Amino acid sequence: MTSKPDTPDRLKLGLIGDNIVRSKSPLLHRLAGEQNGVEVTYDRLVPIDLGLEFEEVFDRCTHENYRGINVTYPYKERAASLVRIDNPLVRAIGAVNTVIFEGEMPHGHNTDYSGFMEAYGQMRGPKATGSVLMIGTGGVGRAVAFALVALGALELRLVDRDPAKAEALAEALEAVAPDMNVSIWVDPSKAAAGAKGLINCTPVGMVGHDGTPLQREFMQGAEWAFDAVYTPTETQFLTDAATAGLSIISGWELFFYQGVHAWKHFSNLPVDEAALRRGLLDIGEAA
């Protein structure tokens, strides 16, 4: 690998993903850098716009002096095959969203996992998750599922338009949480019956992917809902859930905490979370 570590006063970072033009990650990391007197550049890298495959963009980053990158939909699982993962739990998740370029091989981390746990704790405290329906079992879904294991969830119902993905996740969960009741469903409206937690880990509701993965009439009886989508923050899924009386964990909270955790991997520097949150919200409202 030919890239060299950044000097302490400068970090070159990036994000590889599709449909990321409105991502607030560049702003989050620039603000975190300003808190520490570090100049941060954070590039949006969209493979199709560059005329390259994901692996080619990733390889370019290893040779262009990037300190690290974030990886988002739909490349998190592909990224896992290109990095060294020291954490056995992250290896089991099989998806990474944060990569550090150092040494002979890039290091992979998953701050979606840790970020969801922190967001859940901040919004619901020690309350049990209850039985959970999760729609979408791709990269972020896998991270959230393993976070649910750590949070003590005993029942998880999986729905994915690609049943093979759901089956693969169920097998991975069985290996680490044999006491968890994991089932695979085809129809989310049927899987929602009796569930206490409702989770969307699909891109449905994202800018360019309008709609909701679950209609409001099927949310009755649930206690809480989480949507991994954060652009826009108020998705139809969460709006319907709030109207149905559920407590809400927005994708913005996951975005915030995964970003805070990624910053610490990138820089090993502290961050004032309250000031960072204010800066993101103030600039976002002014934009």
pLDDT of residue 5: 44
- Residue-averaged pLDDT of the chain: 94
pLDDT of residue 287: 42
275's tokens? 């000031």
The set of catalytic residues is 75
- pLDDT tens profile 130-188: 999 999 999 999 999 999 999 999 999 999 999 999 999 999 999 999 999 999 999 99
264's tokens? 């610490």
Amino acid identity at 86? D
pLDDT of residue 209: 85
3-state helix, strand, coil in the chain (%, to 5): 40, 15, 40
Gyration radius of the chain over CA positions? 18
Nearest to 160 by CA among 95, 208, 209, 213: 213
pTM of the entire predicted model: 0.91
Mean pLDDT of 122-133: 97
Please name the residue that has the structure tokens 């729905």: 159
Q: Could you give the count of Cα atoms lying within 13 Å of 188 in the half-sphere of its Cβ?
A: 25
Amino acid identity at 208? G
pLDDT of residue 19: 87
Residue 121 reports pLDDT greater than 60 = yes
Strand order in the sheet with 132-135: 181-185, 155-159, 132-135, 197-200, 224-227, 247-249
User: Using CA atoms, how far apart are residues 132 and 196, in angstroms rounded to an integer?
Assistant: 6
Domains of the chain from N-terminus onward: 10-110+254-286 (3.40.50.10860), 113-251 (3.40.50.720)
Q: What percent of the chain has pLDDT over 90?
A: 89
Nearest to 116 by CA among 139, 100, 94: 139
Contact between 73 and 48 (Cβ < 8 Å) = no
In terms of DSSP H, where are the helices of 41-153? 47-50, 54-62, 76-80, 88-93, 111-124, 139-150
User: Using CA atoms, how far apart are residues 225 and 238, in angstroms rounded to an integer?
Assistant: 7
Residue 1 reports pLDDT greater than 50 = no
At residue 185, the 3 state secondary structure works out as strand
- pLDDT tens profile 213-269: 999 999 999 999 999 998 888 999 999 999 999 999 999 999 999 999 999 999 999
User: Using CA atoms, how far apart are residues 39 and 36, in angstroms rounded to an integer?
Assistant: 9
Mean pLDDT of 114-118: 97
pLDDT of residue 105: 95
Query: Which DSSP letter does residue 5 get?
Result: P
- pLDDT tens profile 30-63: 999 999 999 999 999 999 999 999 999 999 999 9
pLDDT confidence tier of residue 100, bands split at 50, 70 and 90: very high
User: Using CA atoms, how far apart are residues 132 and 145, in angstroms rounded to an integer?
Assistant: 10
